[in-house]
Structure 1
Amino acid sequence: METNITAEAADSRMRRVAAEVAAKAADAVDKEGRFPTETFDALKRERLLGVMIPPEFGGEGLSVGEVAELCAILGGACGSSALIYAMHNIKVSSFVTHGRDSAWHRDYMRKIAEDQLLIGSATTEYGIGGDLRNSICAVEVQGDRFTLTKEANCISYGLQSDAILVTCRRSPEAASSDQVMVCVRREDCTLDQTTTWDTLGMRGTNSVGFTLKSAGNAAQIFPHPFSEIAAQSMLSMTHILWAGAWYGIAADAVARAQAFVKAAAKKTPGQLPPGALRLAEVVAMLQEMKGCVNARIERYEAVKDDADALSSMSFAADINNLKISASELGMRVVEHALLITGLPGYRNDTPFSVARHMRDILSARIMISNDRILSNTSNLLLAGRFDKSLRS
């Protein structure tokens, strides 16, 4: 198998950030419910915010699978940091796949890579919840200028973002599903906070609500309709990179469970310690999760240049199932790690603690609710033919 030297170098830089910065700050980020500033300062120093951007625009051109590995590495150190990093790259992917036809977006890709900008997202809205494919707000264009106002019920790390990709109706007269996406630069918008963020887990993402108001150059509107962006890049990138972050959380929980069983084994030489059988069981679960993620990465890579395949019902159903499977498996893995470690895993102040992991992974099933995704997949299955073959 051919080795990607660029990806290996990025892995090494991410491991340095994870071990030297993110892991040390994770508990404070969690307890204080604050943005992981020190981790993202380190990611910028290591030039890891532009890795998905093609080399001709100043990036490293990493694939979605390679970026998912970076999310996993970071997830093993700090779940909040990994999820923010995943969301940033999901937004960057929209520039990579749907911004090349626009001079403005090509130039902004170069700026993201050069200045290591952090990109946020405003796709949800009061009145529609997590339904990404509908908008209430609309962009208004007059001449070469746009204005928009969005009542966003959730913009993760909005105050820390250098730009925010905002979905909205194409015009005030457009249907709710006739959407575009606008790159709103932070210096061109105001964010008036409308909610707080005091949650069970993923406390560092700062996913609060805002009234977002912006005006700017009409060229900042992506040239492709949001329906294409969502189907051909955003859907796949979201579920794959989120799953990478969740895998990293789950894998670190298993590593802590293994350390706990090893410590117990040293106290009773020649005897199988309690939890050893469950350790074998949870490693098999983690392997299943890994296989699930990698299978979808391979399928995406096989069709990434085929717009029809990416927009097909069978592909959408398969990628939807990744989100369901990865979120469910991740939770089961961390839960088993907790059963293995017992009270030391339940406590926050031991080296075997998986308490933060448990709270963070619980968010996986409600970040775009699994029920909503199952409902969408059900509609796809009713309209299409079920594939019974073993081959991918």
Structure 2
Amino acid sequence: MLFFKTTEQKQQFNEIAKLADVFAKRAQKYDQEGSFPVENINDLKKFGYTTLTLPTEFGGKGASLYEFVLLHERLAQGCGPTALSIGWHVGIILDLATTRPWSKEKYAEIMKKVNDNALLNRAASEAQTGSPTRGGKPQTTAYKEGNQWRISGRKTFTTMAPVLDYFLVSASIDKTEDVGEFLIPRDTLGVQIEETWDSIAMRATESHDLILNDVRIGEDHLLEFVSARPKQRANGWLLHIPACYLGIAQAASHYAIEFANSYQPNSLSHPIIELPNIQRHIGEMELELMQARHFLLSVADKWEQLQDKTIIIPDLAAVKHVVTNSAITVVDKAMRIVGARSLSEKNPLQRYYRDVRAGLHNPPMDDATLHLLAQSAIKSFSEK
């Protein structure tokens, strides 16, 4: 069941559904080739999805988090890697619109570029530090020389690397304890993409390594001090991650039901969808999907309404944990319905199975979420 607040949301959903169905026909090819879905991204640019959360003052649609999540799940039903890739861009634009951490001049300059379909993503992960959410200090370094910054280092998991126009790079500032986030245009001398992505999950995201060889940028390209950000941030924009995996799970459920409705072995006088054990699996899938979708949309809605968004930090983490693990469960049940043929290379279920596993390694990780929830519960108990 879907929850549209306005007729406009329903109309947008139906439009993105048509695009997602086109993407579904291309998904197997991109996965087998391990190639980036450039055609899909170009279609999303034409549709206006890359400016979905861009403020209206810069020509965007100014969509809310609720609208973003609602549409993003449907997009992911067509192609998970496409949704995860563009989700980082659209989510970051929403984050920037909410927090406005940059100078007004630089923010306006880049948002105008985004309105002209420029794409950006953060490059924060490193082999030595792991996920930036773990708190490791970047090995990538930046030092000031005159009115320029010189930056060198290597970033991993740079999703959408083949088509990004801007990289938001975290780097340790030389001779200080500060960490800054720098804007690096793709065409800057010293920027290189090394094609290292060999993951069996989300293959088409082409999340290669970004190499920075003594890159030189203007002093105004230091966007903000990451080390000065509040330790507790209500990153609602990260709900694009569970929305993506929920969409993949929904696609798996649809496939399994369609298969069960049409498959009739000669030992039966009816399709297997009439078997009690098959219906039990379908019912269990639907329950997982309903619970996950209700949780996801309710937290997105709550995030928008709260002035003090830090209150909802535990909920945001819990949503990602619940939805991602539910998605894995749904895909597993779908494969049980379809049987051994779900492991065929031509069958989309084996792709869904590989792709949803990637969700476990997107932030926040399960152990961090459970620790956060435990601390929240203990604090609430002690304050009684």
Q: Report the identity percentage.
A: 19
Q: Distance in 1 between matches of 2:262 and 2:192?
A: 51
Alpha-carbon separation, structure 1, partners of 2:302 and 2:51? 24
State the match for 1:347 in structure 2. 344
Taking a change above 3 Å as real, the CA distance of residues 127 and 297 of structure 1, as seen in their structure-2 partners, is: same
Amino acid at match of 2:372: T
1:56–1:137 Cα change, 3 Å: same
Contact 2:154 2:210 in 1 (8 A): yes
Aligned residues: 374
Report SS of the residue matched to 2:90: helix
Residue in structure 2 matched with residue 73 of structure 1 by the alignment = 74
Q: Is the 8 A contact 1:327 1:364 kept in 2?
A: yes
User: What's the CA shift for 1:383?
Assistant: 7.6
Q: CA deviation at 1:376?
A: 5.3
In structure 2, what is the Cα distance between the partners aligned to 1:293 and 1:173?
43
SS class of match (1:222): strand
Out of 264-273 and 317-326, give the one that drifted further: 264-273
Contact preservation (8 Å) 2:89, 2:121: yes
Give the secondary-structure state (helix, strand or coil) at the position aligned to 2:261: helix
Give the aligned residue type for 2:19. Answer: V
Once the 2 structures are TM-superposed, how far is the Cα of residue 143 of structure 1 from its aligned partner? 4.9
Q: Deviation per CA, 1:288-307: give whole Å up to 9, x if none.
A: 1112212321231122x43x
- The CA deviation at 1:147 is 2.4
Q: SS of 1:81's equivalent?
A: helix
Q: Which moved more, 1:182-191 or 1:356-365?
A: 182-191
CA distance in 2 between counterparts of 1:388 and 1:104 reads 44
1:9–1:371 distance in 2 versus 1, CA, 3 Å: closer
* Aligned residue among 310, 314, 328 for 1:331: 328
Q: TM-score, normalised by structure 2?
A: 0.87
Superposition deviation, residue 181 in structure 1: 1.7
Amino acid at match of 1:340: I
Q: Secondary structure at the match of 1:187?
A: coil
Gaps of 5+ in 1: none
CA pair 2-211 structure 1, distance change in 2 beyond 3 A:
closer
Q: TM-score scaled to structure 1, two decimals?
A: 0.85
Partner of 1:294: 297
- Partner SS, residue 385 of structure 1: helix
- Name the structure 1 match of 2:84: 83
Cα 1:184–1:276 shift into 2, 3 Å: same
> How far is the alpha carbon of 1:375 from its aligned partner?
6.7
The correspondence of residues 12-31 of structure 1 with structure 2, limited to 5 A, is 12-20=14-22, 22-31=23-32
Is 1:150 the equivalent of 2:147?
A: no
Letter of the 2:304 partner, please give it.
E
Alpha-carbon offset, residue 241 of structure 1: 0.6
Q: Does 1:319 align with 2:321?
A: no
- The one-letter code of the counterpart of 1:280 is G
Flag the 1:144–1:220 CA change in 2: closer, same or farther, 3 A: same
* Gap change, CA 1:384 and 1:183, over 3 Å in 2: farther
Which residue type is aligned with residue 384 of structure 1? K
Q: What is the Cα deviation at residue 87 of structure 1?
A: 1.2
Tell me whether 1:282 sits opposite 2:285 in the alignment: yes
CA distance in 2, matches of 1:327, 1:247: 7
Equivalent residue number for residue 249 of structure 1: 248
CA RMSD of aligned residues (A): 2.9
CA gap 1:187/1:386 in 2 versus in 1, 3 angstroms: farther
Residue aligning to 1:182: 182
Match of 2:169 among 162, 166, 171: 166
**Higher mean C-alpha deviation, range 372-381 or range 30-39:** 372-381
Moved more, 274-283 or 75-84: 274-283
Asked whether 1:362 is paired with 2:362, we answer no
Counterpart Cα distance in 2 of 1:125 and 1:257: 38
